[in-house]
């Protein structure tokens, strides 16, 4: 997974500041059939449990497995789960699952094609959200750095190689801040800055009070 991440340093602040992630988690849940009872569910990149709590309160299932590259178990004391795999999801040895889900995590994956192929062999259903091309364009334009966001079309083409039915939606929204410094502070406190090595002069000259988020939601079935 990509290394431009300081999420592990921001655990304490994350849930309070993760405005976008909460919106995305709520929307992602609408793609899951809540009338079904699932045997086993795996959530990849569960973080501090923003989507996990939403899922846990809304779905019926027998077993829930969780995964994150960081040890965030302390955030899941009130959630009953079977296994918590502390591992890069790209290296994770998978069991068979009724459903695999992930919210706001796949943009960190280095080889999305390889991951999707592996997931398709472990579950007939995959539902996820991912930040897509154009996300945080203000940061790219000013600092010249960005994650390697894929377009919705690029992601769709990968998914169609491994899943028979693929549905998707795109969403764009903005957050507005009082000052440019508060916008940058927000990114720092959600751990996805990607520009920690930028010079002080670049940070000082950042003028945008708006951050643009682009999200793609996918529901895949075989």
**Are 103 and 129 within 8 A, CB to CB?**
yes
* The pairing of beta strand 83-86 with beta strand 60-68: parallel
| Residue range of the domain that includes 52 | 7-135+147-174+213-221
**pTM of structure:** 0.89
- Is residue 85 within 8 Å of residue 64, measured between CB atoms? no
Domain total in the chain: 1
Indicate whether 140 belongs to any domain. Answer: no
Residue 204 lies in a domain: no
Q: Residue 57 domain-assigned?
A: yes
Q: Is residue 66 part of a domain?
A: yes
Whether 42 is in a domain gets the answer: yes
pLDDT of 130 reads 96
DSSP state, residue 151: P
- C-alpha 11/C-alpha 175 separation (Å) is 21
Q: How does strand 165-176 pair with strand 125-131?
A: unpaired
Is residue 34, in this structure, part of any structural domain at all? yes
Whether 121 maps to a domain, the answer reads yes
Residue 195 lies in a domain: no
Q: How many residues does the chain have?
A: 222
Helix residue ranges, H only, the chain: 11-17, 19-29, 50-58, 112-122, 137-143, 152-160, 180-189, 200-204
Full pLDDT tens readout for the chain, 222 residues? 444 344 455 555 554 457 788 899 999 999 999 999 999 999 999 999 999 999 999 999 999 999 999 999 999 999 999 999 999 999 999 999 999 999 999 999 999 999 999 999 999 999 999 999 999 999 999 988 888 899 999 999 999 999 999 999 999 989 999 999 999 888 877 755 455 555 557 888 999 999 999 999 999 999
CATH code: domain of residue 84: 3.40.50.150
| Cα separation, 85 vs 126, whole angstroms | 18
For residues 26, 89, 68, 187, the Cα torsion angle rounded to the nearest 10 degrees is -60
Q: How far apart are CA 102 and CA 66, in angstroms?
A: 10
Kindly report the number of other CB atoms within 10 A of residue 87's CB atom.
Answer: 13
């Amino acid at each position: 997974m990509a290394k431009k991440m300081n999420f592990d340093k921001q655990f304490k602040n994350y849930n309070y500041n993760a405005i976008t992630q909460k919106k995305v988690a709520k929307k992602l849940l609408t793609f899951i059939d809540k009338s079904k009872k699932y045997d086993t569910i795996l959530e990849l990149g569960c973080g501090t449990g923003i989507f996990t709590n939403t899922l846990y309160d809304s779905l019926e299932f027998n077993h829930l497995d969780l995964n994150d590259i960081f040890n965030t178990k302390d955030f899941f004391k009130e959630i009953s789960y079977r296994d918590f795999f502390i591992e890069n999801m790209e290296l994770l040895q998978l069991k068979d699952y009724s459903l695999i889900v992930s919210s706001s995590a796949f943009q960190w994956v280095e080889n999305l094609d390889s991951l999707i192929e592996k997931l398709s062999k472990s579950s007939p259903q995959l539902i996820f959200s991912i930040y897509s091309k154009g996300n945080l364009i203000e940061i790219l334009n000013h600092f010249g750095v960005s994650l390697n966001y894929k377009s919705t079309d690029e992601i769709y083409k990968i998914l169609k190689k491994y899943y028979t039915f693929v549905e998707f939606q795109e969403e764009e929204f903005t957050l507005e801040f009082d000052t440019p410094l508060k916008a940058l502070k927000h990114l720092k406190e959600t751990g996805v800055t990607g520009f920690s090595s930028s010079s002080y002069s670049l940070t000082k000259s950042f003028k945008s009070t708006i951050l643009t988020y682009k999200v793609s939601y996918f529901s895949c079935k075989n």
